[in-house]
Amino acid sequence: MISVRNPQQLLNGSRAFAQILFLLFFVFQACSPKVRENKKETTVNQAKSLPDKVKVVDEKVKPTEADSLNKYKKTEPVFTIALLLALHLDSVSANEMQDLKRSRDTNISLDFYQGLLMAFDSLANDDLRLQLNVYDTKHDSNEVKKIFKKSEVKKSDFVIGPIFNDESVPAIQFSYLNDKYVLSPLAPASNSSFNSPYFISATAPIELHGRKQAEYILTTFDSKNVFILSGKSTAEQKYEAAFDETLKNSTKKIKAIRVGTSIENLKVLESLLKKNEKNIIFITTSSSSSLTRIFQKLKLLANNYDLVVFAHPLVPKMETLNFELLLPLNVHTSMAHYQNSDILYKSDFYMNYRKKYNTEPTEFAVDGFDLGMMFGKSIIKDGKDFGKKILNNPYSGLNGKYNFSEISGRGIQNNWLQIVKFNNYKFESE
């Protein structure tokens, strides 16, 4: 059975509203024969704004077709998962959806949920028996703390979520205090924040991007002309430090020259570039406005210098960036999630998702499906020992790979990254 918190009355006027309404209906259609019904008795109240088939209870949503589940043996073993998503179900209305942050939170959460559930449903015939309880974090760390105090969450076999970085601290603390595996499915939690051997991060942190890009430069290019255009944020500094440390520790002993990103600094960069040699430029900033200024200048310099640019991993997702500027710059970066479009479009998941939702799956839906398949298969095979078994056992999904390793007893991290190069208006794997 899948349960969600009781929403207030929902109003028309947004994509999120339609998705949430569909989610609540889909909850009932998605309960596979292998998913057990929650035994707790609750009083069912009809929600006026929802379809006749949708019934809402105090804290749980349950299907009116519950009797159809009774024929399955109550003694069947069930693996319980608590899923924490930022759904904002208590405040979803036409007015609330004017808040773009909330709309984005809800859409990401629903997309991930739909992909995850499709994976679990597809594994039901392979003897996966789950009880999936869904909790709304409202993208609020205090709400996350409240959820982790619930007895049913403490009794869960596995926790997936929350999905945003600023909600992760209570999740790490919970996993440590309760010896419970908690998966951070989307947020790239920093290795330095891990202090629980049961915390699992499915997305490589920014430090690994810096290290991966430096290693690629060392193995691919002979040039020692490396320039770092430094950023200012903490994350950008971690990215830069990992990159610089990897260069320094190599046998080539390359010493990168640091340059700022202001117009004056870029003039200094021009004076340092070498003609008739490759000049490798590592840009740490993730600011779209700063990147626009930098790429404009580099595009001019590319007429006289051989440039190879390594950019921040957020660059491929920047909707406000003019990608025309990147064409002459030989731009590379690394991606924690990389879709092979040919494989994705031919997959059963893609076709089934389009059929069910009348839209193409977003990257978050694909992430949900990949993680659901990987962990679902591990649960079927290894039961409650799944966390130990995923170590050093790579899994290939539709949105990249998962190659988990233990971080000195402090947590479990996916180390997989893909180097990509900008070519013909898209980033392609190298």
10: Cα separation from own chain's centroid: 27
What parts of the chain have a pLDDT lower than 70?
1-77, 92-102, 191-192
- Name which of 199, 166, 194, 165 is nearest 183 in CA terms: 199
Let me know if residue 294 belongs to a domain. Answer: yes
Let me know if residue 422 belongs to a domain. Answer: no
pLDDT of residue 43: 27
Looking at the fold, whether 363 and 294 belong to one and the same domain comes out as no
pLDDT of residue 341: 83
pLDDT of residue 70: 40
Looking at the fold, whether 198 and 212 belong to one and the same domain comes out as no
Looking at the fold, whether 31 and 142 belong to one and the same domain comes out as yes
DSSP assignment of 295-317 = HHHHHHHTTTSEEEEE--TTGGG
380, 127 Cβ separation under 8 angstroms: yes
pLDDT of residue 191: 63
Looking at the fold, whether 35 and 153 belong to one and the same domain comes out as yes
Let me know if residue 6 belongs to a domain. Answer: yes
What three-state secondary structure class fits 239?
Answer: helix
Looking at the fold, whether 79 and 196 belong to one and the same domain comes out as yes
Let me know if residue 10 belongs to a domain. Answer: yes
pLDDT of residue 386: 94
Looking at the fold, whether 146 and 274 belong to one and the same domain comes out as no
Give the pLDDT confidence of 125-174 residue by residue, as tens digits. 888 999 999 999 999 999 999 999 999 999 999 999 999 999 999 999 99
Looking at the fold, whether 144 and 243 belong to one and the same domain comes out as no
Residue 234 structural domain: 207-335
Length of the chain: 430
Looking at the fold, whether 224 and 211 belong to one and the same domain comes out as yes
Dihedral angle, C-alpha 397, 191, 161, 347, nearest 10 ° = -10
Let me know if residue 429 belongs to a domain. Answer: no
Provide the strand spans (E) within 11-78: 44-46, 55-57
Could you tell me the CATH number of the domain that includes residue 81? Answer: 3.40.50.2300
Q: What six digits make up the tokens of 82?
A: 């608590």
pLDDT of residue 135: 97
pLDDT of residue 340: 80
Looking at the fold, whether 82 and 145 belong to one and the same domain comes out as yes
Looking at the fold, whether 382 and 307 belong to one and the same domain comes out as no
Number of domains in the chain: 2
Dihedral angle, C-alpha 245, 250, 253, 255, nearest 10 ° = -30
Let me know if residue 402 belongs to a domain. Answer: yes
Would you tell me the crossing angle of helices 100-122 and 348-357 to the nearest 10 degrees? 120
Beta 257-259 vs 226-229: how paired, if at all?
parallel
Let me know if residue 212 belongs to a domain. Answer: yes
Looking at the fold, whether 49 and 180 belong to one and the same domain comes out as yes
Let me know if residue 75 belongs to a domain. Answer: yes
Measured from the Cβ of residue 274, the count of other Cβ atoms closer than 10 Å reads 12
CA–CA distances in Å: residue 193 to residues 243, 283, 407, 410: 19, 25, 11, 9
> Pick from 335, 353, 383: which residue ends a domain?
335
Looking at the fold, whether 190 and 307 belong to one and the same domain comes out as no
Tokens 């969450």 -> residue: 153
